[in-house]
Structure 1
């Protein structure tokens, strides 16, 4: 397959999406399915996604056990969108959070690389603003550890997106009290004016734009293997389309 470092509007890709049932993941599915450049889209899921959008014929839904992920499911793909994640409250403990949020992602990334050893690969990961591997706080520390782990795999292209406070397109199934209190503020003009908030659709669009080289700056212009996009860059890239 073609290298993600030489993309153009005519290049075709096969994509994996991990985290497709989450807020950002659903938006990524929409963006990827609407793009003609993606001719095959494989979703790695713990439960089936109810999808009734365009180009349904190119989607494959794979219900998987992330403790025993089958490497063969990842073969024949060259782009991986990862928006997978949880919270400590949902996971039940710090140890479970680290396993789900970090270990599942890094294991999938390793299998993606080994399953497509001769193909230049592009891994795109939705992280979080403030991610830092040596942080005292669990959430930013784990996100930072994931970022470092992905960089160490040395994909042809590794793109990390660090959005600010995420504004979902629909109400979450699981209530997050702190987020519920902050959401009205961040969803107002204040959040948008300060850049403290990010619509999930903007993150998804920026990931698609960068994966397909549709923005003013393209992967071919970047010499390093990895690139990190902070919130301001994410919003600008999303608005460019």
Structure 2
């Protein structure tokens, strides 16, 4: 499989990248990044440096025959104007999606939205309406080939940390408690590894459900032929 990951520097994106690296059938991993990290990397990874995804162009032959794009990028709506939030959340996502589809029309597109996103456009919360608009646009752009993830709390792995200080503090406090609850009760919390494995299974087996909440993501992550 040849995949593109957008947002691999964030907590969810890091988890998706780790799941992809662990998958033997993933042959090519293209990361859209602002700048490539230093150090040694898996030979399957190709970095494409782009400082402005609003102007992203997928004309490079590297973007031909892509099997899937895993879109994990996004910003918090806190303290951000609706115009700015829409530009980054809607305009940027659709620019990347349209460009990739033009060169790989049969690809799958998996988008990490959020629990509470509103595709009806009636929510009083700005972020929920904008996320819902993105979802609707992607489902129209990729009929039968788009999947929307609406996770709530996501359990990080020990080696992955959020870049947002407030989130890091929250996860430092909550994650150990969630792991303890999981160990003592058998209750499974959604992890970033689950999200990555679910994305890979959608690429392998196709889209059975277009909007996936936590139970759907877990079921998809556990799917076998």
What's 1:121 paired with?
107
Cα RMSD (Å): 3.0
What's 1:199 paired with?
191
Preserved CA contact (<8 Å) 1:132 1:144: yes
Preserved CA contact (<8 Å) 2:86 2:130: yes
Pick from 147, 155, 178 the counterpart of residue 187 of structure 1.
178
Higher strand share: 1
Preserved CA contact (<8 Å) 2:114 2:152: yes
What's 1:141 paired with?
129
Preserved CA contact (<8 Å) 1:20 1:28: yes
Q: How many equivalent pairs are there?
A: 215
1:111 and 2:135 are equivalent in the alignment: no
Give me the whole-angstrom Cα distance separating, in 2, the residues matched to 1:178 and 1:142.
25
Unpaired segments of 5 or more residues in structure 2?
none
What's 2:202 paired with?
210
Q: Cα distance 1:130–1:51, how it changes in 2: closer, same or farther (>3 A)?
A: farther
Preserved CA contact (<8 Å) 1:205 1:238: yes
Unpaired segments of 5 or more residues in structure 1?
1-12, 214-218
Give me the whole-angstrom Cα distance separating, in 2, the residues matched to 1:163 and 1:191.
18
Give me the whole-angstrom Cα distance separating, in 1, the residues matched to 2:199 and 2:192.
11
The secondary structure found in structure 2 opposite 1:172 is coil
Structure 1 segment 1-241 matched on structure 2, within 5 A:
13-49=1-37, 56-64=42-50, 65-73=52-60, 74-89=63-78, 92-116=80-104, 119-133=105-119, 134=121, 135-169=123-157, 170-176=160-166, 180=170, 184=174, 187=178, 198-213=190-205, 219=206, 222=208, 227-240=210-223
Preserved CA contact (<8 Å) 1:167 1:183: no
Give me the whole-angstrom Cα distance separating, in 1, the residues matched to 2:201 and 2:39.
22
Structure 1 residue 20, shift from structure 2 partner: 0.8
